[in-house]
Amino acid sequence: MQNSKVQNLKTEVLSDNWYTLRKVTFDYLKKDGTLETQSREAYDRGNGAVILLYNLEKRTIILTRQFRMPTYLNGNETGMLIEACAGLLDEDNAEDCIIKETEEETGYRISAIQKVFEAYMSPGSVTEILHFFIAEYKDSMKVGAGGGIAEEQEEIEVLEMQFEEAVKMIEDSRIKDAKTIMLLQYLQLKGIF
């Protein structure tokens, strides 16, 4: 469905190096009936998927730790970020993507996943919709070391921790990643543990 308040849309590609940064100029019909010309930049990196693995018997979850340059540039002294396993969809659907990413990043081969919601993570500047999943894991599902794919410049540490410890890590800011916080709080709200 098109928004009739948006008119005369013009798009200019500012960068197409890694992903695509566009400048969009448009007229917006205001409540008073006047048209106001506005300009915004939108970064298109594609859509993604994220998953939180949990083990009810052990009361544990699986997270990852890796270097994230944007956080380093914004005051994270080490640039290391603790987060749930995630990846871009590329050509896959969200379910296939997250199953593949889970094995590549964590070493766990899962098949039964549950989609819990979708969310725009930074709608003021990024086009991405993120598909959120949870899945139960068992030690027997571990088929590799994880750590990501070297060709994609991934060097990922796999972390298994108590669910309660992860919640404390939100409170003391050791976990600052929004998608991870959302999934941990989802497990809390649903009383899964």
> Which sign, positive or negative, has the C-alpha torsion 119, 66, 45, 53?
negative
pLDDT at 49: 98
pLDDT at 154: 78
Total-model pTM: 0.93
Tokens of 61: 């979850």
Cα(49)–Cα(179) distance, integer angstroms: 10
pLDDT at 31: 95
Q: Any idea which fold 48-189 has?
A: Nucleoside Triphosphate Pyrophosphohydrolase (3.90.79)
pLDDT at 149: 81
Cα(103)–Cα(52) distance, integer angstroms: 13
Pairing mode, if any, of strands 60-67 and 157-162?
antiparallel
- Which residues, given as ranges, of the chain have pLDDT below 50? none
pLDDT at 36: 96
131 three-class SS = strand
pLDDT at 92: 85
